[in-house]
Amino acid sequence: MFIDVHCHLTDDKLKGDLPRTVSEFKAAGVGRVINVGCCAESSAYAFKQAQEFPEIYFAAGLHPQELKDKDISEIYEIEKLCKAEKCVAVGEIGLDYYWDKTYCDKQKEFFLAQTELAYSLKLPLNIHVREAMGDAVKLIRDNKGKFCYGGVMHCFSGSRETARELLNLGLYISFGGSVTFKNSKTVKEVAAFVPKDRLLTETDGPYLAPEPLRGTVNSPKNVPIIAAKLAEIRGTSVEDIEIASEENAKRLFYGLK
Protein backbone atom coordinates (compact mmCIF):
# COMPACT_ATOMS: atom_id res chain seq x y z
CA MET A 1 0.00 0.00 0.00
CA PHE A 2 0.98 3.62 -0.44
CA ILE A 3 1.65 5.71 2.65
CA ASP A 4 1.44 9.49 3.05
CA VAL A 5 3.92 10.30 5.82
CA HIS A 6 3.02 13.98 6.01
CA CYS A 7 -0.27 15.78 5.46
CA HIS A 8 -2.54 18.19 7.31
CA LEU A 9 -6.05 16.80 7.56
CA THR A 10 -6.73 19.38 10.27
CA ASP A 11 -6.64 22.15 7.68
CA ASP A 12 -9.98 23.75 6.84
CA LYS A 13 -9.63 22.66 3.22
CA LEU A 14 -9.60 18.97 4.21
CA LYS A 15 -11.30 18.55 7.58
CA GLY A 16 -14.76 19.63 6.39
CA ASP A 17 -15.53 16.31 4.69
CA LEU A 18 -13.00 13.95 6.17
CA PRO A 19 -15.00 10.75 5.46
CA ARG A 20 -14.92 11.62 1.76
CA THR A 21 -11.18 12.38 1.88
CA VAL A 22 -10.50 9.05 3.57
CA SER A 23 -12.70 7.18 1.09
CA GLU A 24 -10.88 8.80 -1.83
CA PHE A 25 -7.38 8.02 -0.61
CA LYS A 26 -8.31 4.43 0.23
CA ALA A 27 -9.72 4.00 -3.28
CA ALA A 28 -6.38 5.27 -4.64
CA GLY A 29 -4.48 2.59 -2.73
CA VAL A 30 -3.24 4.81 0.10
CA GLY A 31 -3.58 2.70 3.23
CA ARG A 32 -2.01 4.86 5.93
CA VAL A 33 -1.70 8.60 6.51
CA ILE A 34 0.30 10.49 9.12
CA ASN A 35 -1.66 13.61 10.04
CA VAL A 36 0.86 16.20 11.23
CA GLY A 37 0.16 18.86 13.85
CA CYS A 38 1.67 22.36 13.82
CA CYS A 39 0.62 23.62 17.26
CA ALA A 40 -1.03 22.25 20.39
CA GLU A 41 -4.52 22.87 18.99
CA SER A 42 -3.97 21.26 15.58
CA SER A 43 -2.05 18.37 17.16
CA ALA A 44 -4.99 17.71 19.49
CA TYR A 45 -7.37 17.78 16.53
CA ALA A 46 -5.08 15.40 14.63
CA PHE A 47 -5.29 13.04 17.63
CA LYS A 48 -9.11 13.24 17.49
CA GLN A 49 -9.16 12.43 13.76
CA ALA A 50 -6.82 9.48 14.31
CA GLN A 51 -9.28 8.01 16.80
CA GLU A 52 -12.08 8.22 14.25
CA PHE A 53 -10.35 6.49 11.33
CA PRO A 54 -8.09 3.41 11.55
CA GLU A 55 -6.13 4.54 8.47
CA ILE A 56 -5.05 7.82 10.13
CA TYR A 57 -2.12 8.16 12.53
CA PHE A 58 -0.73 11.44 13.79
CA ALA A 59 2.29 13.46 14.87
CA ALA A 60 2.25 16.24 17.47
CA GLY A 61 4.57 19.22 17.44
CA LEU A 62 5.16 22.95 17.25
CA HIS A 63 5.94 24.24 13.76
CA PRO A 64 8.63 26.96 13.60
CA GLN A 65 6.20 29.45 12.06
CA GLU A 66 3.89 29.02 15.07
CA LEU A 67 6.45 29.97 17.71
CA LYS A 68 6.76 33.75 17.75
CA ASP A 69 4.25 34.27 20.57
CA LYS A 70 4.63 30.84 22.18
CA ASP A 71 6.08 30.00 25.57
CA ILE A 72 8.34 26.96 25.92
CA SER A 73 5.86 25.52 28.42
CA GLU A 74 3.52 24.68 25.52
CA ILE A 75 5.76 21.71 24.85
CA TYR A 76 4.12 20.06 27.88
CA GLU A 77 0.86 19.95 25.90
CA ILE A 78 2.70 18.35 23.01
CA GLU A 79 4.24 15.80 25.35
CA LYS A 80 0.80 14.68 26.55
CA LEU A 81 -0.34 14.13 22.98
CA CYS A 82 2.86 12.32 22.04
CA LYS A 83 2.09 9.73 24.70
CA ALA A 84 -1.31 9.03 23.16
CA GLU A 85 -2.23 6.00 21.12
CA LYS A 86 -1.43 6.33 17.40
CA CYS A 87 1.08 9.15 17.81
CA VAL A 88 4.02 7.97 15.71
CA ALA A 89 6.31 11.03 15.70
CA VAL A 90 7.12 14.43 17.17
CA GLY A 91 6.43 16.98 14.48
CA GLU A 92 6.17 19.12 12.60
CA ILE A 93 9.24 20.78 14.07
CA GLY A 94 12.25 22.54 12.58
CA LEU A 95 13.48 25.91 11.32
CA ASP A 96 11.86 28.33 8.88
CA TYR A 97 13.54 31.66 8.11
CA TYR A 98 11.55 32.31 4.93
CA TRP A 99 8.85 34.57 6.35
CA ASP A 100 10.47 36.05 9.45
CA LYS A 101 14.07 36.04 10.64
CA THR A 102 13.45 37.99 13.84
CA TYR A 103 13.16 34.97 16.12
CA CYS A 104 15.67 32.45 14.75
CA ASP A 105 17.16 31.75 18.18
CA LYS A 106 13.71 30.94 19.55
CA GLN A 107 13.16 28.51 16.69
CA LYS A 108 16.42 26.77 17.54
CA GLU A 109 15.42 26.60 21.21
CA PHE A 110 12.10 24.92 20.38
CA PHE A 111 13.71 22.62 17.82
CA LEU A 112 16.17 21.34 20.40
CA ALA A 113 13.53 21.07 23.13
CA GLN A 114 11.29 18.97 20.91
CA THR A 115 14.27 16.88 19.86
CA GLU A 116 14.81 16.15 23.56
CA LEU A 117 11.14 15.26 23.89
CA ALA A 118 11.32 12.78 21.00
CA TYR A 119 14.44 11.21 22.47
CA SER A 120 12.80 10.81 25.89
CA LEU A 121 9.73 9.17 24.35
CA LYS A 122 11.72 7.07 21.84
CA LEU A 123 9.90 8.65 18.91
CA PRO A 124 11.18 9.74 15.49
CA LEU A 125 10.99 13.33 14.30
CA ASN A 126 9.12 14.94 11.42
CA ILE A 127 11.30 17.89 10.39
CA HIS A 128 10.50 21.02 8.38
CA VAL A 129 13.29 23.24 7.07
CA ARG A 130 12.93 26.27 4.81
CA GLU A 131 15.68 28.79 4.06
CA ALA A 132 17.53 27.52 7.14
CA MET A 133 19.27 24.33 6.00
CA GLY A 134 22.74 25.28 7.25
CA ASP A 135 21.54 25.94 10.80
CA ALA A 136 19.32 22.86 10.76
CA VAL A 137 22.09 20.51 9.64
CA LYS A 138 24.45 21.95 12.28
CA LEU A 139 21.88 21.44 15.04
CA ILE A 140 21.25 17.87 13.93
CA ARG A 141 24.97 17.14 13.62
CA ASP A 142 25.78 18.68 17.02
CA ASN A 143 22.96 16.75 18.70
CA LYS A 144 23.02 13.54 16.68
CA GLY A 145 22.76 11.41 19.81
CA LYS A 146 19.22 12.72 20.28
CA PHE A 147 18.27 11.51 16.80
CA CYS A 148 18.89 7.84 17.50
CA TYR A 149 15.18 7.04 16.94
CA GLY A 150 15.34 8.55 13.49
CA GLY A 151 13.55 11.25 11.63
CA VAL A 152 12.43 12.42 8.22
CA MET A 153 13.27 15.61 6.37
CA HIS A 154 9.82 16.32 5.00
CA CYS A 155 9.33 17.77 1.52
CA PHE A 156 13.10 18.01 1.14
CA SER A 157 14.36 20.87 -1.03
CA GLY A 158 18.09 20.89 -0.27
CA SER A 159 21.05 19.86 -2.37
CA ARG A 160 22.39 16.40 -3.05
CA GLU A 161 25.38 17.15 -0.81
CA THR A 162 23.09 18.17 2.06
CA ALA A 163 20.98 15.06 1.52
CA ARG A 164 24.12 12.91 1.75
CA GLU A 165 25.06 14.44 5.11
CA LEU A 166 21.54 13.99 6.49
CA LEU A 167 21.46 10.40 5.30
CA ASN A 168 24.82 9.83 7.01
CA LEU A 169 23.23 11.19 10.19
CA GLY A 170 20.55 8.51 9.91
CA LEU A 171 17.63 10.51 8.56
CA TYR A 172 15.12 9.64 5.86
CA ILE A 173 14.14 11.90 2.96
CA SER A 174 10.53 12.44 1.96
CA PHE A 175 9.28 13.68 -1.41
CA GLY A 176 5.99 15.37 -2.21
CA GLY A 177 4.40 17.22 -5.07
CA SER A 178 7.45 19.40 -5.71
CA VAL A 179 9.26 16.43 -7.27
CA THR A 180 6.74 16.61 -10.13
CA PHE A 181 7.23 20.32 -10.84
CA LYS A 182 8.86 21.22 -14.13
CA ASN A 183 11.44 23.54 -12.53
CA SER A 184 12.41 21.19 -9.69
CA LYS A 185 15.78 20.08 -11.09
CA THR A 186 17.54 19.83 -7.72
CA VAL A 187 14.69 17.91 -6.09
CA LYS A 188 14.73 15.42 -8.95
CA GLU A 189 18.51 14.99 -8.62
CA VAL A 190 18.10 14.19 -4.92
CA ALA A 191 15.20 11.84 -5.67
CA ALA A 192 17.44 9.88 -8.00
CA PHE A 193 20.24 9.81 -5.41
CA VAL A 194 18.51 8.83 -2.16
CA PRO A 195 18.98 5.11 -1.34
CA LYS A 196 15.91 2.94 -1.76
CA ASP A 197 15.78 2.16 1.96
CA ARG A 198 15.57 5.86 2.97
CA LEU A 199 12.88 7.05 0.56
CA LEU A 200 9.44 8.18 1.75
CA THR A 201 6.34 9.62 0.06
CA GLU A 202 4.08 12.42 1.22
CA THR A 203 1.65 15.05 -0.03
CA ASP A 204 1.86 17.89 2.54
CA GLY A 205 -1.82 18.27 1.69
CA PRO A 206 -3.64 20.56 1.27
CA TYR A 207 -0.49 22.25 -0.06
CA LEU A 208 1.84 21.51 -3.01
CA ALA A 209 -0.49 19.54 -5.24
CA PRO A 210 1.52 17.62 -7.86
CA GLU A 211 1.50 18.19 -11.59
CA PRO A 212 -0.89 18.15 -13.37
CA LEU A 213 -3.05 19.24 -10.41
CA ARG A 214 -1.14 22.34 -9.29
CA GLY A 215 -3.44 24.97 -7.85
CA THR A 216 -5.95 22.45 -6.50
CA VAL A 217 -6.42 21.18 -2.95
CA ASN A 218 -3.87 18.43 -2.39
CA SER A 219 -4.82 15.32 -0.45
CA PRO A 220 -3.40 11.85 0.31
CA LYS A 221 -5.15 10.39 -2.74
CA ASN A 222 -2.37 12.00 -4.81
CA VAL A 223 0.47 9.90 -3.37
CA PRO A 224 0.37 7.51 -6.38
CA ILE A 225 1.07 10.47 -8.69
CA ILE A 226 4.18 11.32 -6.68
CA ALA A 227 5.22 7.67 -6.59
CA ALA A 228 4.86 7.47 -10.37
CA LYS A 229 7.18 10.45 -10.81
CA LEU A 230 9.72 8.93 -8.40
CA ALA A 231 9.58 5.68 -10.36
CA GLU A 232 10.22 7.57 -13.60
CA ILE A 233 13.15 9.49 -12.11
CA ARG A 234 14.71 6.36 -10.61
CA GLY A 235 14.06 4.09 -13.60
CA THR A 236 11.95 1.63 -11.69
CA SER A 237 8.30 0.64 -11.30
CA VAL A 238 5.58 2.35 -9.29
CA GLU A 239 5.11 -0.94 -7.43
CA ASP A 240 8.78 -0.85 -6.42
CA ILE A 241 8.36 2.65 -4.98
CA GLU A 242 5.13 1.62 -3.24
CA ILE A 243 6.73 -1.39 -1.55
CA ALA A 244 9.93 0.40 -0.58
CA SER A 245 8.18 3.48 0.82
CA GLU A 246 5.78 1.33 2.85
CA GLU A 247 8.62 -0.71 4.33
CA ASN A 248 10.59 2.43 5.10
CA ALA A 249 7.63 4.20 6.71
CA LYS A 250 6.88 1.25 8.98
CA ARG A 251 10.55 0.94 9.92
CA LEU A 252 10.88 4.60 10.87
CA PHE A 253 7.42 5.13 12.35
CA TYR A 254 7.38 1.89 14.30
CA GLY A 255 3.91 2.64 15.70
CA LEU A 256 2.43 2.49 12.21
CA LYS A 257 0.49 -0.76 11.79
User: What DSSP element (H or E) covers 130?
Assistant: strand 125-130
pLDDT tens, 11-62? 999 999 999 999 999 999 999 999 999 999 999 999 999 999 999 999 999 9
pLDDT at 56: 98
Residue 234: what pLDDT?
Answer: 98
Q: What percent of the chain has a predicted confidence (pLDDT) above 90?
A: 98
pLDDT score for 19: 97
Domain count within the chain: 1
In a domain, 158, yes or no: yes
pTM for this entry: 0.97
- The answer as to whether 150 is a domain residue is yes
Alpha-helical (H) ranges within the chain are: 12-15, 18-27, 40-52, 75-82, 104-121, 133-142, 160-168, 185-193, 223-234, 238-252
Q: Is 144 contained in some domain?
A: yes
Q: What's the CATH number where 16 sits?
A: 3.20.20.140
Name the residue range of residue 64's domain: 2-252
Within a domain: residue 57? yes
Question: Residue 257 falls within a domain, yes or no?
Answer: no
Per DSSP, the three-state class of 118 is helix
| Angstrom distance (rounded) from CA 92 to CA 137 | 16
Q: Are 236 and 197 in contact (CB under 8 A)?
A: no
| Positions in the chain whose pLDDT score sits under 70 | none
Whether residue 9 lies inside any domain: the answer is yes
Q: How far apart are the first and last CA of the chain?
A: 12
